[in-house]
């Protein structure tokens, strides 16, 4: 059997996309020696870890911002893969703040073209769900197995929408529409997944839970734990970069 951890070509730059200042700053703190490039009013931070080049970008919040920023990065750099990090809100009763979610599937929770025969969350001309690269997932799973991820990690379906999900009515609608499969909700992962799928770029999404809105005041918890969630996801992302640096071919 071929070891999936050694078939990814990783001398190409790794693109890391975060939405919010707190999330991007937590990343930059781990790569203090970096250059800055401004392109179309977007700041791109160029860093290295050993021989591995890294492009860090803050997209801004929401699907349009994420798609614009990632398209810009992909046009400027021949990246080997994209990692989207940051925070999310948990929708399952067994989750806790600062748990990790590394999804196996991604869906838009605010897209509804079911009257045209499409699946819930499916945009016209696009797949019903988007799938992170299995090789990157295998590398992350190896990190977990090796004890490099000291947090509970959930895998499954990530929901993406241009809305902060915190109200019981919002949660109930998502649960009903997607049969309670959605593990967490956020505002950029769907666009990251769609752009990467469109252009054939491997991607992985890594989110730390800043709140679990199904268990109480999600908006308040988000404000309290955002920084800690950002730091958590950034540190785990660094462990992933270290492992990818060792990969000869992606």
Q: Which of 3, 22, 23, 25 is catalytic?
A: 23
Average pLDDT, the chain: 88
pLDDT in tens, 115-126: 999 999 999 999
Q: For the chain, which domains are there? A: 10-244 (3.40.50.1580)
Nearest to 30 by CA among 245, 205, 241, 244: 241
pLDDT at 186: 95
Nearest to 62 by CA among 164, 173, 132: 164
Residue 2, CB-side half-sphere exposure with 13 Å CA sphere: 7
The CA-based dihedral angle spanning residues 207, 59, 190, 202, taken in that order and rounded to the nearest 10 degrees:
-80
pTM of the model: 0.89
Residue 74, CB-side half-sphere exposure with 13 Å CA sphere: 20
Catalytic (active site) residue 53: no
Catalytic (active site) residue 162: no
Q: Which of 53, 99, 110, 211 is catalytic?
A: 211
Q: How confident is the model at residue 4 (pLDDT cuts 50, 70, 90)?
A: very low
* Over residues 109-114, mean pLDDT: 96
pLDDT in tens, 47-56: 998 889 999 9
Q: Distance (Å, rounded) from C-alpha 106 to C-alpha 11?
A: 27
């Amino acid at each position: 059997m071929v070891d999936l951890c050694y078939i990814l070509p990783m001398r190409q730059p790794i693109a890391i996309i975060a939405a919010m200042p707190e999330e991007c700053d937590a990343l930059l703190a781990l790569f203090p020696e970096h250059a800055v490039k401004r392109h179309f009013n977007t700041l791109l931070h160029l860093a290295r870890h050993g021989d591995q080049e890294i492009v860090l970008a803050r997209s801004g919040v929401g699907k349009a911002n994420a798609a614009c920023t990632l398209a810009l990065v992909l046009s400027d750099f021949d990246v080997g893969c994209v990692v989207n990090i940051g925070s999310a809100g948990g929708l399952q009763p067994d989750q806790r703040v600062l748990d990790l979610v590394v999804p196996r599937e991604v869906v838009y929770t605010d897209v509804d073209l079911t009257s045209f025969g499409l699946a819930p969350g499916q945009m016209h001309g696009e797949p019903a769900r988007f799938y992170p690269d299995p090789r990157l997932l295998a590398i992350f799973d190896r990190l977990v197995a090796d004890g490099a991820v000291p947090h509970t990690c959930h895998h499954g379906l990530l929901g993406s929408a241009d809305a902060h999900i915190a109200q019981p009515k919002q949660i109930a609608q998502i649960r009903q529409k997607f049969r309670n499969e959605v593990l967490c909700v956020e505002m950029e992962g769907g666009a990251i997944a769609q752009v990467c799928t469109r252009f054939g770029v491997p991607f992985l999404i890594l989110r730390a839970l800043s709140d679990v809105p199904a268990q109480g005041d999600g908006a308040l918890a988000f404000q309290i734990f955002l920084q800690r969630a950002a730091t958590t996801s950034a540190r785990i992302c660094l462990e992933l970069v270290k492992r990818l640096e060792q990969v000869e071919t992606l």
